[in-house]
């Protein structure tokens, strides 16, 4: 068996070498770079580019960046399939100024020299990073406070239900902010450019995943909540969740890695690695993909299963964790490239964006089958979406779009007798509500009358710093737009402070918006009263650096949105 694998590797290495030799003969040589320049570019690529374009540069949210079209041929041949080959100058412009297709500008982040360097780097053959084995994962595992040294009851007086775990993106930390008093209770060191926080079923543990694959476990019961265990699950990661089915509460955690493409199952209270599963394989189009990254993960309430969405293959996995030694997985083909998503109001259906196909895939976690593939506007980006009852169409789930100026409302099934009349609309787009381009997140709450949407990727400063709010009882009423940056009272800066990620308090009465400034600008979280849409509080502190995602303990624990 081992021999076969070695043989296969040797064959593919040969094919790879032949491929590159052929490419070198026909194409212009890639711009030369010193070893030090390559190292520097590799680091920038990983930190700034790999998330959208992939480590192997095969493209996903961002375009393919392989040399066959980033680099011009020696004879001046400049098109591939009707697409202009790029070359140094054009690449520098694109990286610096961005594109209408959604590529953001980096001229305010990278120096002129770095822009030149990156343009050179992506005309060279992509570096293939090393693999990361079960042993590597195990070797990285640390328990700072063993389970028997942890409190047996809550040792602080905080209202944990209303605590918020706030991503401080560029410092690699989360701030634990008391939702009642708005005070920062702890700032906890986590992974690099930390991405999301999720809660254990009991609400005691916060799981925080960094882009560098570092997973941190925070115990909220400690007098001063702190990290009690840590493990590195890969080199590049975005998602984590826990086991939430009855009888398995707090038992397991699962984290998804972008590189290498795999997910890791761990013990929930210590993060001790239990199993690593590769996600490499065939796409829904029947082609092998070497880098199918793990996008969103969610724990089912219907069965002891996780819904694990594999970006590049378009396969949705239902991973049964009732017997992890004999792991059973249902593989459901949907569409490419899977990204983020959330539950419908009944929590039976998980809806996930297939952003390159402009579709929303809905999985029925009761039957273990695809319930629908719904065509929507360009580049859906729901976050976890927003559920409310539409006066005409009944229960709907909402997504925003990165590539279109609308919010899309999809009718979702309901078992309630009173909702039977809405059945004819199920899985149809029942309404598109006019918004502005550049939306990332939408949010509502079962106790709220409002639907909130941000637009942080909008090129206009005024719009990127604002949020829009609709009355869900009558979506035709004029939308209320609030300029969060102005409300914050912070001094005006030339650079945009993006208003991003609305999040409700546990009682559904407040909405918290991050005002995401540059690393050296003062940022803030601006809190609004949801009933009156008036400013309630500006939470700001020198330590509040680049706040983005906020995760209210109760709402995240129970998937309320
Ligand atoms: Fe995210 C969720 C991936 C850029 C803020 N982001 C997710 C999820 C994925 C993902 C797969 C779903 C996790 C889950 O539910 O299990 N994000 C990516 C990227 O690949 C991408 C496009 C590029 C990158 O390099 O990472 C990217 N994301 C960003 C940002 O730039 C944001 C705006 C700011 C930041 O903190 O980095 C950002 N992503 C978020 C947030 C969530 C998220 C706040 C969780 C939303 C929620 O309410 O659950």
Q: Render pLDDT for 469-512 as a digit per residue (tens, 0 to 9).
A: 999 999 999 999 999 999 999 999 999 999 999 999 999 999 99
Q: Which domains does the chain have, with CATH numbers?
A: 3-121 (1.10.760.10)
CA count, 13 A, side-chain hemisphere, 444: 26
Q: How does pLDDT run across 139-160, given as a tens digit for each residue?
A: 999 999 999 999 999 999 999 9
Residue 195 CA to ligand 1 centre (angstroms): 6
450 is catalytic: no
Distance (Å) from CA 183 to ligand 1 centroid = 25
Per residue in 249-262, pLDDT tens? 999 999 999 999 99
- Inform me whether the pLDDT recorded for 20 exceeds 80: no
Structure confidence at residue 25 (pLDDT): 37
Q: Round to whole Å and give the CA distance between 399 and 409.
A: 7
Q: How many CB atoms lie within 10 A of CB 18?
A: 10
Nearest residue CA, atom 46 of ligand 1?
A: 383
Q: Check whether 417 has a pLDDT greater than 80.
A: yes
Closest CA to 43 of 275, 236, 205: 236
CA 551 to ligand 1: nearest atom: 48
H/E run at residue 275: strand 273-278
* C-alpha torsion angle, residues 284, 287, 290, 292 (rounded to 10): -10
SS3 label, residue 209: strand
Say how many Å lie between the CA of residue 484 and the centre of ligand 1: 21
> Which residues contact ligand 1 via a Cβ below 6 A?
51-52, 61, 167, 169, 195-196, 238-239, 295-297, 339-340, 383-384, 440, 500-501, 548-549
Q: Provide the β-strand partners of residue 307.
A: 298, 318
The answer, yes or no, to whether residue 84 has pLDDT greater than 80, is no
- Bridge-based pairing of strands 196-199 and 205-209 is antiparallel
pLDDT of 176 > 70? The answer is: yes
Q: Does residue 561 sit in helix, strand or coil? A: coil
**Rounded CA gap, 230 and 266, in Å?**
11
pLDDT, tens digit, for every residue of 501-558? Answer: 999 999 999 999 999 999 899 999 999 999 999 999 999 999 999 999 999 999 999 9
Which of 63, 190, 340 should be mutated for ligand 1, with most atoms under 8 A from CB?
Answer: 340
Query: Which residue, by CA, sits nearest to atom 27 of ligand 1?
Result: 51
DSSP, res 479 = P
| Measured distance CA(301)–CA(57) in Å, rounded | 36
Encode pLDDT of 103-137 as tens digits.
888 998 899 999 999 999 999 999 999 999 999 99
* Cα distance from N-terminal residue to C-terminal residue, the chain: 48
53 catalytic per annotation = yes
Supply the pTM of this predicted model.
0.92
Atom nearest to 49 CA in ligand 1: 25
Tokens (6 digits) for 485: 């940056």
CA 129 to chain centre: 22
Distance 211 CA to ligand 1 centre (A): 10
Residue 85: predicted pLDDT: 73
Nearest in space to 296 (alpha carbons), one of 324, 244, 258, 267: 258
Give the CA dihedral 178, 181, 183, 186, nearest 10 degrees: -30
SS3 for 286-332 is: CCEECCCCEEEEEECCCCCEEEEEECCCCEEEEEECCCHHHCEEEEE
Contact 392, 382 (CB under 8 A): no
Contact assessment for residue 125 and residue 133, using Cβ atoms and an 8 Å cutoff: no
Residue pair 252/265 in contact by the 8 Å Cβ criterion: yes
Q: Which of 163, 266, 289, 381 is catalytic?
A: 381
Which residue among 33, 52, 155, 222 is the active-site one?
52
| Residue 52 falls in the annotated catalytic set | yes
Please report how many Cα atoms fall inside a 13 Å half-sphere around the Cα of residue 126, on the Cβ side: 23
Average pLDDT over residues 301-322: 98
Catalytic residue among 53, 289, 401, 501: 53
Residue with tokens 């990278």: 110
Question: CA 107, CA 312: separation in Å to the nearest integer?
Answer: 29
The mean predicted confidence, pLDDT, of the chain is: 92
Could you tell me which of 516, 349, 539, 342 has the C-alpha nearest to residue 443? 342
Give the whole-angstrom CA distance, residue 327 versus residue 309.
Answer: 17
Does residue 163 have a cis peptide bond before it, meaning omega lies within 30 degrees of 0? no
What pLDDT was estimated at residue 491? Answer: 94
Q: Pick the atom of ligand 1 nearest to 549's CA.
A: 44
C-beta atoms surrounding 322 within 10 Å? 14
Q: How far is CA 131 from the centre of its chain?
A: 22
Closest C-alpha residue for ligand 1 atom 21? 51
516 alpha carbon – ligand 1 mean position (Å): 14
- Concatenate the DSSP letters of all residues of 385-431 into one string: EEEEEETTTEEEEEEEESSSSEEEEEE-----GGGGGGGGGTTSEEE
- Locate the ligand 1 atom nearest the alpha carbon of residue 339 and give its number: 11
Which structure tokens are listed for 465?
Answer: 């710093």
Beta-sheet strand order (sheet of 466-471): 442-443, 450-454, 466-471, 480-483
Which residue has the least CA distance to atom 25 on ligand 1? 51
Of 219, 212, 236, whose CA–CA distance to 295 is shortest? 236
Q: Which one of the listed residues 103, 155, 222, 282 is annotated catalytic?
A: 103
Average pLDDT over residues 435-459: 96
238 CA distance to ligand 1 middle (Å) = 7
Give the pLDDT of residue 30.
Answer: 87
Residue 319: its pLDDT value, please? 98
Distance of alpha carbon 139 from alpha carbon 127, whole angstroms: 25
Nearest CA to ligand 1 atom 12: 296
Residue nearest to ligand 1 atom 16, measured at CA: 296
CA–CA separation, 335 and 412 (whole Å): 19
Share of the chain above pLDDT 90, in %: 85
Write the burial class of residue 7 (CB in 10 Å: 0-12 exposed, 13-18 middle, 19+ buried).
exposed
Identify whether 103 is a catalytic site residue: yes
**Which burial class, exposed, middle or buried, applies to 421 when counting CB atoms under 10 A from its CB (0-12, 13-18, 19+)?**
exposed
- Of 237, 259, 193, 172, nearest to 48 (Cα)? 193
Alpha carbons 215 and 228: distance in angstroms, whole number? 11
Which residue is it, tokens 């840590």? Answer: 230
Residue with CA at minimum distance from ligand 1 atom 28: 195
Q: Which of 195, 289, 339, 445 is catalytic?
A: 339
In a mutational test of the pocket of ligand 1, which residue from 168, 173, 195 has the highest number of ligand atoms less than 8 Å from its CB? 195
Statement: residue 83 has pLDDT above 80:
no
Nearest CA to ligand 1 atom 14: 296
């Amino acid at each position: 068996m081992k021999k076969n694998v070695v043989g296969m590797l040797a064959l593919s290495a040969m094919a790879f070498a032949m491929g590159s030799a052929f490419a070198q003969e026909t194409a212009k040589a890639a711009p030369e770079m010193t070893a030090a320049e390559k190292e520097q570019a590799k680091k920038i690529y990983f930190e700034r580019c790999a998330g959208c374009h992939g480590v192997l540069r095969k493209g996903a949210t961002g375009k393919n960046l392989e040399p066959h079209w980033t680099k011009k041929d020696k004879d001046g041949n400049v098109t591939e399939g009707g697409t202009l080959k790029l070359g140094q100058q054009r690449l520098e412009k694109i990286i610096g100024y961005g594109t209408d297709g959604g590529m953001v500008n980096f001229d305010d982040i990278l120096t002129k020299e770095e822009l030149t360097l990156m343009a050179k780097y992506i005309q060279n053959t992509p570096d293939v990073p090393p693999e990361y084995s079960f042993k590597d994962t195990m070797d990285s595992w640390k328990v700072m406070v063993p389970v028997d040294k942890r409190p047996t009851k809550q040792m602080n007086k905080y209202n944990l239900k209303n605590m918020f775990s706030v991503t401080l993106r560029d410092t690699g930390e989360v701030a634990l902010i008391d939702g009642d008093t708005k005070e920062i209770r702890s700032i906890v060191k986590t992974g690099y450019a930390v991405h999301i926080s999720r809660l254990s079923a009991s609400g005691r543990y916060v799981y925080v995943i960094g882009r560098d694959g570092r997973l941190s476990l925070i115990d909220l019961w400690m007098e001063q909540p702190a990290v009690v265990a840590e493990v590195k699950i890969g080199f590049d990661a975005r998602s984590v969740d826990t086991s939430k089915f009855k009888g398995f509460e707090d038992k397991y955690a699962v984290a998804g890695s972008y590189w290498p493409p795999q997910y890791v199952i761990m013990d929930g209270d210590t993060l001790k690695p239990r199993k690593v599963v590769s996600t490499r394989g065939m796409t829904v189009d029947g082609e092998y993909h070497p880098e199918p990254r793990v996008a969103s993960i969610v724990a089912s309430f219907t069965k002891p299963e996780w819904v694990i969405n594999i970006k590049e293959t378009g396969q949705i996995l239902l991973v049964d964790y009732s017997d992890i030694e004999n792991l059973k997985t249902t593989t459901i083909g949907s569409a490419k490239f899977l990204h983020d998503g959330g539950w419908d109001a009944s929590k039976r259906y998980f809806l996930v964006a297939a952003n390159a196909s402009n579709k929303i895939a809905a999985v029925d976690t009761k039957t273990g089958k695809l319930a629908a593939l719904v065509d929507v506007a360009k580049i859906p980006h729901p976050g976890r979406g927003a559920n409310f009852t539409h006066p005409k169409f009944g229960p709907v789930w909402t997504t925003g779009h990165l590539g279109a100026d609308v919010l899309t409302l999809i009718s979702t099934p309901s078992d309630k007798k009173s909702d039977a009349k809405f059945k004819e609309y199920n899985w149809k787009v029942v309404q598109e509500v006019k918004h502005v381009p550049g939306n990332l997140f939408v949010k509502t709450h079962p106790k709220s009358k409002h639907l909130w949407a941000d637009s942080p990727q909008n090129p206009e400063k005024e719009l990127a710093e604002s949020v829009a709010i609709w009355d869900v009882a009558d979506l035709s009423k004029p939308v209320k737009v609030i300029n969060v940056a102005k409300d914050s009272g912070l001094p005006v800066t030339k650079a945009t402070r993006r208003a991003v990620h609305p999040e409700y308090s546990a009682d559904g009465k407040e909405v918290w918006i991050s005002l995401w400034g540059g690393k050296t600008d003062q940022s803030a979280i601006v809190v609004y009263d949801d009933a009156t849409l008036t400013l309630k509080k500006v939470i700001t502190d020198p330590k509040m650096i680049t706040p983005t995602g906020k995760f209210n303990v109760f709402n995240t624990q129970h998937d309320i949105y």
